[in-house]
Amino acid sequence: MNWKKKALTLLAAVLLIALAACSGGGSKESGGSGKEDSGKGSKPIVIKFSHVTSIDSVKGKAAERFKELVEEKTGGKATVEVYPSSQLYGDNDELDALVSGNVHMIAPSVTKMVKLDPRWQYVDMPFLFKDQEHVHKFFESDVAKTLLNSDQLAANDIMGLAFWENGFKHFTNNERPIQKPEDMKGLKFRAQAGKVLEAQFKALGAGSATIAFGETYAALQQGTVDGQENTYNNMDTQKYQEVQKYMTISEHGRLDYAIFVNKSFWEGMPDDIRAQVEEALKEATELEWKLAKEENDKSLDNLKNSGKMEVLELTADERAAFEKALQPVYDEFEDVITKELIDGIRNLK
């Protein structure tokens, strides 16, 4: 080999190494921006999705379907690792994990976003939503979009993509049947988060303590609190009928979710893959809304048929008494939630 041939061979080798480095050889598996995992290399983009309910809950089922849809639509270029039941992060740290990019997607009950924007407590305003149709109208409304795309979220490098539903909340407790506001007096309830729920219980003469979802069963069992409020499906999939004697069908507030992603990760994904993941989310969301009703109906039957929990209904007058007793919550929080949001929701009816 003469010196010219040697030089050309060396140059070709250097070029090959440089090319290999550019084509994804150094890509991160997950945790970094999605761009690095362009899907063109051998490793798929991994979307880590953390949530706190069980795999058989409304949210758990929809998350599993979302994973299947992402893998189908991207032809395996993106995959979703779902971590249910607070396996990876619970109520106290999943939002921080999203902000720091340790997970890429979460679906918290929206009231837990109070840490970043108190307006998310709209969901706790007593008797604000009339029925499921009203909730769906809200999810599709411009007022709802302002929450998903707020500056408060962007400042923390996160963004909201969609609303997922669970259902109306109901009170349970271990002490006595609850038919009227006075029956709540002196009882202590587990609350999810935020001042609105604290004020709600206070207005009914009860106390409350914020307890993470993953710790609530034990708190009820050990009597740390006497009661809690939740949807039929959350109670049933957490087996609260084993540790609660009475449930009142009160429909006094809502428990719904939004899907939040880490913004840098999301925007860093290649455009074509992000569009396919968006399509998957749209389909999973449609399914989730359907499941919410079906699963909550089934769960109500399970709770009734458990033979362990007495299920009580409210007459129209009894319901009106709760509405009246909870009016002070509006007086106290209208400015925090904003009149614009509260009226925006009311006017959708």
Question: From the DSSP assignment, how many helices (H) and strands (E) are in the chain?
Answer: 14, 9
CB 152 within 8 A of CB 275: no
Nearer to ligand LMR, 103 or 273 (CB): 103
Nearer to ligand LMR, 109 or 172 (CB): 109
Regarding 213 and contact with ligand LMR (CB under 6 A), the answer is yes
User: Which of positions 255-314 make contact with ligand LMR (CB under 6 A)?
Assistant: 255
Write the binding mask 225 to 254 for ligand LMR: x where contact by CB under 6 A, - elsewhere: -----x---x--------------------
Work out how close the CB of 255 gets to ligand LMR at its nearest, in angstroms, rounded to a whole number: 6
Work out how close the CB of 330 gets to ligand LMR at its nearest, in angstroms, rounded to a whole number: 22
Nearer to ligand LMR, 73 or 170 (CB): 170
Helix (H) or strand (E) holding 38: none
Helix-helix angle 271-305:58-73, to 10 degrees:
150
Write the binding mask 154 to 193 for ligand LMR: x where contact by CB under 6 A, - elsewhere: ------------x-------------------------x-
Regarding 49 and contact with ligand LMR (CB under 6 A), the answer is no
Angle at alpha carbon of residue 33, lines to 27 and 38, rounded to 5°: 50
Regarding 53 and contact with ligand LMR (CB under 6 A), the answer is yes
Interface with ligand LMR (CB under 6 A), residue from 109, 200, 241, 244:
109
Regarding 208 and contact with ligand LMR (CB under 6 A), the answer is no
Strands 78-83 and 45-50: parallel
Nearer to ligand LMR, 57 or 276 (CB): 57
Strands 246-262 and 105-106: antiparallel
DSSP string computed for 138-198:
HHTSHHHHHHHT-HHHHTTTEEEEEEEEEEEEEEEESS----SGGGGTT-EEEE-SSHHHH
Work out how close the CB of 211 gets to ligand LMR at its nearest, in angstroms, rounded to a whole number: 8
Nearer to ligand LMR, 166 or 299 (CB): 166
CA distance 308 to 101: 43
CB 321 within 8 A of CB 203: no
Residue 55 is classified by DSSP as: T
Interface with ligand LMR (CB under 6 A), residue from 45, 47, 52, 82:
52
Contacts with ligand LMR, residue ranges (CB under 6 A): 52-53, 109, 166, 192, 213, 230, 234, 255
